[in-house]
Amino acid sequence: MLFNSVTFLIFLLIVSTIQYSRLNWKSKKTSLLIGSYIFYAAWNPPFIILLFLSTLMDWIFAKKIYSSTKPKQRKKWLVFSLVFNLGLLSIFKYSGFILENFNALISVLGFQLKFSDPGIILPMGISFYTFQTLSYTIDVYSKKIKTADSFLDYALFVSFFPQLVAGPIVRAIDFLPQLKKTKTFSVDTFSLGISLFIIGLFLKTVLADAFFAPIVDKVFDANISPDMLSAWVGGWFFYGQIFCDFSGYSLCAIGTALSLGFYLPLNFKSPFAAIGFTDFWRRWHITLSSWLRDYLYIPLGGNKFGKFITLRNLFITMFLGGLWHGAAWTFIIWGVLHGFYLILERLLKKISVLKTLAQFKIMRPLLMLTTMLFVMLAFIVFRAENVNQALDIYTGLLNLGSTKEILVWNLWIQLTVTAFILLTLIQWFYKHDNLPNVINRMSIIPKSLILSFCLIMIITSSGNSDAFIYFQF
């Protein structure tokens, strides 16, 4: 079920009505759980079985971990959880990719054997909910949390519909306590939630779908090396598109949850304003980067075992972060690029001249733009269908070889450039703030004008209603 659909609005109305009715808290949680499964089933009904199975297995594993006193036993159940969850992810997400590359490899080696693609459907949201359930079992193992009070609470934590299919990735330590007591209706909380939802929808349906996507698609789908202007415009606009699409979805999720009385973590914090790549990953897809930091980078040793191990851990984390996004070499290369960026940043920070220069205020916009540039360049391979297409775009950026003029510098592109610049400036000036705080501080008139503008644009924008980009992960 898409947030930008009539059926979702009706669904939310029904769920909200039940949530703020006179039913007891257990009944409300049950109806939220049923609603979440209906939400998921709207995509492909049989896959609610997989969601339930994943939920049930990690409930059992966590219970076993919690009740075991012997470290070996606890570790055993943790390993079962890891194998189960990563196994599920591997089968559904990576089996086709593994097979395709295996076939390519044996073909290169001269063998005629070929295994056919099993054609397994990728369940929507599997990358998100498996990470969520894994974080639960790991946190129970690490004794950071105890197990949920009831299966109902745990199941609702896993399948809570606002964040089920594309995040934010929620930790049990943050969500389970919210299930202990009933939610009472608050005009302020409900209104803030709806405001975030409206702004999220504006980012997605107006900026991402109506402004950026048509131009980006034209450049990338041309299947030819574009001219220099088109390549640069396409690259920058894809950065704009993916930001607006994904942060828009996250805002819709956070806003929906807030309207029901639940708090979800922020997922984006002005990533365009990042100065350096470490800062970028503290601002972009925050719940994923913090998950990777806490459950991968730190267990690998983090930065505690010297320079070489630190750089190795950074690389492995970003490599797997890229792989998490999808079963394709383009995503792996994107992850590896960010790994190299982080390594390079660490090495450059050691150079005292550069370190001193970076501290001057005047350098900050330059460093921000440099970070934006390299992030944009990495996003080109993320967007490309394959490595060859990415190379076409890079060739176009440098005006090498034969290129084809794709875009015409017209009023629409100029307007979109203006929108991109405004987006950048807003993020720069509010880089230390977050949107809910900004909204809460606004007085009546500017708040009303912004929300009205967003609503009018959403209603009258007739761009192609594309699926959220992160649904494919």
413 with 407: CB under 8 angstroms? yes
Per-residue string for binding with other proteins, 190-219, x by CB under 8 A?
Answer: -x--------------x---x---x-----
CA distance 130 to 270: 27
Q: Does 101 bind other proteins (CB under 8 A)?
A: no
- Contact with other proteins (CB under 8 A): which of 104, 347, 357, 449? 449
Based on the shown chain and the rule CB under 8 A, indicate whether residue 6 belongs to the binding site for other proteins. Answer: yes
Least gap, CB of 320 to other proteins (angstroms): 31
Q: Which is nearer to other proteins, 38 or 152 (CB)?
A: 38
Distance CA 290, CA 135 (A): 11
Backbone phi and psi for residue 404, each to the nearest 5 degrees, phi listed first: -125, 140
- Which of 108, 113, 187, 353 contacts other proteins by CB under 8 A? 187
- Which of these segments, 29-37, 128-136, 172-180, 451-459, binds other proteins (CB under 8 A)? 451-459
- How far, CA to CA in Å, does 209 sit from each of 120, 242, 300, 465? 29, 10, 39, 6
The answer to the question of residue 96 lying near other proteins (CB under 8 A) is no
For residue 248, which phi and psi values (nearest 5 degrees)?
A: -60, -45
Q: If we measure between CA atoms, which residue out of 276, 272, 297, 292 comes closest to residue 284?
A: 272
Pick from 5, 21, 370, 434: which binds other proteins (CB under 8 A)?
5
Site for other proteins in 405-444 (CB under 8 A): 410-412, 415, 444
Measured torsion, CA atoms of residues 407, 412, 414, 419, in degrees rounded to the nearest 10: -120
Nearer to other proteins, 57 or 455 (CB): 455
Residue count, binding to other proteins (CB under 8 A): 35
At 292 the three-state DSSP class reads: helix
Q: Which is nearer to other proteins, 108 or 445 (by Cβ)? A: 445
Task: Locate all alpha helices (DSSP H) within 111-227, ordered by sequence.
Answer: 126-141, 151-159, 161-164, 172-175, 187-201, 213-220
Minimum gap (Å) between residue 224 Cβ and other proteins: 23
Establish if 173 lies at the interface with other proteins (CB under 8 A).
no
Query: Alpha helices, DSSP H only, in 270-362?
Result: 277-281, 286-292, 306-325, 329-349, 352-358
Q: Which is nearer to other proteins, 10 or 104 (CB)?
A: 10
As measured in angstroms, the least distance from the Cβ of 416 to other proteins is 9
184 binds other proteins (CB under 8 A): no
Query: How many C-alpha atoms does 246 have within 13 Å on its Cβ side?
Result: 27
Contact range with other proteins by CB under 8 A, out of 126-134, 186-194, 386-394, 420-428: 186-194
Angstrom distances, CA of residue 405 to CA of 221, 241, 397, 410: 13, 22, 12, 13
Residues in the chain: 473
Structure-token match 């982080």, residue found:
342
Query: Whose Cβ is closer to other proteins: residue 412's or residue 429's?
Result: 412
Of 293-301, 318-326, 367-375, 445-453: span binding other proteins (CB under 8 A): 445-453
Which is nearer to other proteins, 207 or 390 (by Cβ)? 207
Nearest to 219 by CA among 239, 197, 235: 235
**Binding range to other proteins, per CB under 8 A, among 156-164, 340-348, 384-392, 461-469:** 461-469
**How far is the C-alpha of 236 from the C-alpha of 369, rounded, in Å?**
12
Smallest distance from other proteins to CB 440, Å: 10
Q: How far is the CB of 163 from other proteins (least distance, A)?
A: 19
CB of 113 or CB of 411, closer to other proteins: 411
384 exposure class (CB count in 10 Å sphere: 0-12, 13-18, 19+):
buried
Residues involved in catalysis: 325
Burial of 193 (0-12, 13-18, 19+ CB in 10 A): buried
Helix (H) or strand (E) holding 271: none
Computed on alpha carbons and rounded to an integer, the radius of gyration of the chain in Å comes to: 23
Does 188 help bind other proteins (rule: CB under 8 A)?
A: yes
Indicate the burial class of 54 (C-beta count within 10 angstroms; 0-12, 13-18, 19 or more): buried
Q: Indicate the residue among 113 and 444 with the shorter CB distance to other proteins.
A: 444
Q: Per CB under 8 A, does 7 bind other proteins?
A: yes
Does residue 370 bind other proteins (CB under 8 A)? no
Binding of residue 456 to other proteins (CB under 8 A): yes
* CB 409 to other proteins: min, Å: 12
Query: Within 20-79, which residues bind other proteins (CB under 8 A)?
Result: 42-45
Query: Which residues of this protein are in contact with other proteins, per CB under 8 A?
Result: 1-2, 5-7, 10, 42-45, 187-188, 191, 206, 210, 214, 410-412, 415, 444-445, 447-449, 451-452, 455-457, 459-463
